[in-house]
Every structure is written in structure tokens, then in C-alpha cells.
Homo-oligomer: A and B are copies of this chain.
Amino acid sequence: MRITVNRKAHFNAAHRLFRSDWSDEKNLAVFGKCSNPHYHGHNYELIVSVTGEIDPETGFVMDMKVLKGLIKTEIEDTFDHKNLNEEVLEFKKLNPTAENISVVIWNKLRSKINKTLDLSVTLYETPRNFVSYSGE
């Protein structure tokens, strides 16, 4: 009997879509206004989903207080009010598309969550654009 618990969080960040091995012209041709060298930004909304058995002792799949804390220390403290390209190590050489940000978030959380639990993340870049990744 497996069930999924979900926790919502958010962070505000600047970014640009950009490959440092391409010229600004090529970045502009491929990424359009998202490659603006002066950056733009988003209110990212994040849903972290953890799937597993209900612990009969507590009635929890995972203590939400623990999950909330983990999202804060692993993701919000590193990403919130930051420039993703300039200030987040993982994006020094990786283009911070919503897809790549999701994979980075998933990897950071995966290492901290019990291996008996499945993990997936959904990241809203805007209310109209969002991505989901479950490590498959």
C-alpha cells in the first residue's frame, strides 16, 4: 500500500538561458529573450513528492516537518534570492532551464531521503510553464 505525500515550497531567483561555450548571438538565436545577458527572473514554485508505505506507528509516509526542513536547507537556502547562473555551483556549466533545475533539485534531495521512498519533483517556472522529474 503505497501513498504519495507532497509538500509545496517556493524560491525567487534570477537566471538566463545561456551556454558559456556559445556566443551571445547564438544564445539569443536559440533561447530568444530568455538569454538576455542582464538576466530576468521567476517566482519558482516547487512541489516535492515522496512515495512509500504508511508507517503504522505514526500514520506518516514521511514526517512533513522533516521534509519541509529538508527543502529549506537543501533548496531554499541555496536558490532563494540568488542568481542561478552566477551563484549556484551546479549551473556554472549547466544551462538553468526548468528541466535542468529540476534534475539538480531532485539529485540534491535524493541523497537526503531514505532509499525506500520514491521521489519526484515538479517545478513551476511560471504558472503556465512547469516540469516534472522522477529520476527515471
**Interface, chain A (partner B; CB < 8 A):** 1-10, 12-15, 17, 30-34, 36, 38-43, 54, 58-61, 64-65, 80-83, 86-87, 94-100, 102-103, 126-133, 135-136
Q: Would you list 18 pairs from A and B whose C-beta atoms are within 8 A, ordered by A residue? A: A2-B136, A5-B99, A6-B130, A10-B126, A12-B42, A12-B126, A13-B40, A14-B40, A14-B83, A30-B58, A38-B82, A38-B83, A40-B41, A40-B83, A54-B97, A54-B100, A59-B97, A64-B129
With known contacts A42-B12, A97-B59, A100-B59, A132–B4 Cβ distance under 8 A = yes
The smallest C-beta distance from A118 to any residue of chain B, in angstroms, reads 12
Not counting A1-B103, A8-B127, a sample of 6 additional A-B residue pairs whose C-beta atoms are within 8 angstroms of each other reads A30-B58, A31-B58, A38-B86, A40-B83, A59-B94, A64-B129
Q: Are A8 and B128 in contact (CB under 8 A)?
A: yes
Chain B residue with minimal CB distance to A101?
A: B59
How many angstroms from the CA of A120 to the CA of B99 in the assembled complex? 18
Q: Are A6 and B129 in contact (CB under 8 A)?
A: yes
How many angstroms from the CA of A5 to the CA of B3 in the assembled complex? 20
How many angstroms from the CA of A33 to the CA of B61 in the assembled complex? 19
